[in-house]
Amino acid sequence: NAGVTQTPKFQVLKTGQSMTLQCAQDMNHNSMYWYRQDPGMGLRLIYYSASEGTTDKGEVPNGYNVSRLNKREFSLRLESAAPSQTSVYFCASSEGAFNTGELFFGEGSRLTVL
């Protein structure tokens, strides 16, 4: 079972470059999320998509954009990368709001911005 798949797993960018992180889930989940993980700060929500066709800002949306391409796919774009965006990014999915709320995570994408 693939579950949640993220690409790429590693990426090095220069300041000002752009890139897109891709995420796909095969569990027919309604909701998808992008988190970033930084030392000592746990996971912080960047954007989420409660259902296909909707997206909303989380705690730390500045500098990012998202696209819910279809029910399976949810991408995160950095238009002009900054060193402060050096982090590990996790995509996650869940069935939706009115359920137990368990999140299923991808393996993460480690991004370094020089």
Partner 1 sequence: GNSVTQMEGPVTLSEEAFLTINCTYTATGYPSLFWYVQYPGEGLQLLLKATKADDKGSNKGFEATYRKETTSFHLEKGSVQVSDSAVYFCALRRAGGFKTIFGAGTRLFVKA
Rounded Cα–Cα distance for residues 30 and 50 (Å): 7
Residue 27 interacts with partner 1 (CB under 8 A): yes or no: no
Residue 61 interacts with partner 1 (CB under 8 A): yes or no: no
- Cα distances from 36 to residues 28, 93, 98, in angstroms, run 23, 14, 25
The binding track of 65-104 with respect to partner 1, each residue x by CB under 8 A or -, is: -------------------------x-x-x-xxx-xxxx-
State which residue, 17 or 75, has the beta carbon closest to partner 1.
75
φ/ψ (deg, to 5) at 38? -125, 145
Residue 52 interacts with partner 1 (CB under 8 A): yes or no: no
Rounded Cα–Cα distance for residues 70 and 18 (Å): 22
**Helix (H), strand (E) counts: the chain:** 0, 11
State which residue, 43 or 69, has the beta carbon closest to partner 1.
43
The answer to whether 9 and 108 have CB atoms below 8 angstroms apart is: yes
Contact range with partner 1 by CB under 8 A, out of 14-22, 33-41, 66-74, 75-83: 33-41
Of 70, 84, 107, 114, the one binding partner 1 by CB under 8 A: 107
Rounded Cα–Cα distance for residues 71 and 24 (Å): 9
Of 17, 19, 22, 50, the one binding partner 1 by CB under 8 A: 50
Residue 40 interacts with partner 1 (CB under 8 A): yes or no: yes
